[in-house]
Every structure is written in C-alpha cells, then in structure tokens.
C-alpha cells in the first residue's frame, strides 16, 4: 500500500511538472505577451484559500501585498519558503502575504505546509488561470504590489536574502 501511495505522489509531481512546462511553452507561443511589467496594475483575481476563505486581490487595497507562486516539488520554492514564512509571521511586517500553489492537490499542499510547520495563507491555482494572468512561466515567482494595486517588483526565481526582500518591500513604502 505504501509503494502505491509513493507511486501516486511521483505521478502527481510529474503531472504538475508537465503542466508547468506545457503552460510555459504555451505562453511563449501565445500572441499576447503574457508578461507583467513593474508599475502595471496587478491583474484582479479571486481564489479560495485552504481554509475555505474566498480572497480577491481588491480585498487588499490600501495594503502592500506579496504574492508568491510556488509548488512543493519545486526545489527553489522549497528553499525560499522558510524565509517567506518568517516574513508572514513577523510581528513587525506590514505586508499581507498570499501563497498561490500552482497545480497541486489540496491534500499535497496541506500536508506539505503541516509537515514544515508553515502557517502562511495558501491557496491553489488548480487551473493555472491566475498564474497565466501574471505571466508565470517558471517557479517560484513573487510579486510585490503596493496599496494602489500596482506591481512594484517582480522576482522571478528563488529569494535567498531576507534583507534584500525587505529592501524590495520598502520600495513600495516610498512609492505609496
């Protein structure tokens, strides 16, 4: 039974990787640019968190928001997650955070967060609609949005430096 479970997990990880690869190729062949530029208005979306709460980007108007697209099979995502969780749990952080998993099951995401004792607010972009809105072709991808809904920074790839992340977040302070 355990081997079957392990086999199913491997199949799910391969399927998720194939999905991301397909969408990155699809985005490259698309007639639209599929890219988000700094200072652009962040695309609106609605998503349901793992706790069942419906969240819309407009709910965060007036606040800085960090949106992180990730997956548990993505090694750079896994490496940056403790740093991002620290940002989320920091009592002096004035940044709202939303972690959008790309394409994994609710059970996989819930188990991953529980196993690593992360308390961050997570939702799952099952269809890839939101990651496509943001032009996400590879993981991880992080967007910092100011209180007026403008994208102030787009970080494509792993975030490894908490101080640098704080600097990026402080840039939105000077703009707001």
Q: What is the pLDDT of residues 8-56, one digit of tens each?
A: 677 777 666 655 655 544 443 333 335 678 889 999 999 999 999 999 9
Burial (0-12, 13-18, 19+ Cβ within 10 Å), 11: exposed
Min mean pLDDT across 69-73, 78-82, 94-98, 147-151 is at 94-98
Min mean pLDDT across 35-39, 74-78, 116-120, 130-134 is at 35-39
pLDDT in tens, 139-162: 999 999 999 999 999 999 999 988
**What percentage of residues in the chain have a pLDDT greater than 90?**
62
What does the domain layout of the chain look like in residue ranges?
Answer: 2-175
pLDDT at site 90:
80
The fold for domain 2-175 equals: Glutaredoxin (3.40.30)
Q: Which residue has the higher pLDDT, 92 or 152?
A: 152
Instruction: State how far the Cα of 171 lies from the Cα of 169, in Å rounded to an integer.
Output: 5
Cα-based angle 33, 141, 7 (whole degrees, multiple of 5): 110
Alpha-carbon distances, residue 71 vs 11, 42, 97, 175 (angstroms): 15, 21, 16, 31
Alpha-carbon distances, residue 167 vs 34, 69, 116, 145 (angstroms): 27, 20, 26, 14
Instruction: State how far the Cα of 26 lies from the Cα of 21, in Å rounded to an integer.
Output: 8
Instruction: State how far the Cα of 80 lies from the Cα of 140, in Å rounded to an integer.
Output: 9
pLDDT at site 139:
96
Confidence (pTM)? 0.77
pLDDT at site 14:
67
Instruction: State how far the Cα of 55 lies from the Cα of 35, in Å rounded to an integer.
Output: 23
pLDDT at site 30:
33
């Amino acid at each position: 039974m355990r081997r079957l479970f392990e086999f199913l997990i491997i199949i799910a990880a391969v399927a998720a990787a194939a999905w991301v690869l397909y969408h990155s190729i699809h985005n490259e062949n698309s007639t639209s640019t599929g890219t988000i530029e700094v200072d652009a208005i962040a695309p609106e979306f609605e998503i349901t968190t793992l706790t069942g709460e419906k969240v819309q980007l407009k709910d965060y108007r007036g606040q800085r928001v960090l949106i992180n697209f990730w997956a548990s099979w993505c090694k750079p995502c896994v490496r940056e997650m403790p740093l991002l969780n620290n940002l989320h749990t920091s009592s002096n952080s004035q940044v709202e955070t939303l972690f959008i998993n790309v394409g994994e099951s609710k059970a996989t995401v819930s188990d991953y967060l529980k196993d690593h004792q992360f308390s961050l607010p997570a939702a799952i972009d099952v269809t890839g609609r939101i990651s496509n809105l943001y032009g996400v072709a590879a993981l991880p991808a992080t967007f910092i949005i100011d209180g007026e809904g403008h994208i102030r920074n787009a970080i494509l790839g792993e975030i490894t430096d908490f101080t640098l992340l704080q600097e990026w977040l402080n840039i939105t302070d000077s703009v707001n």
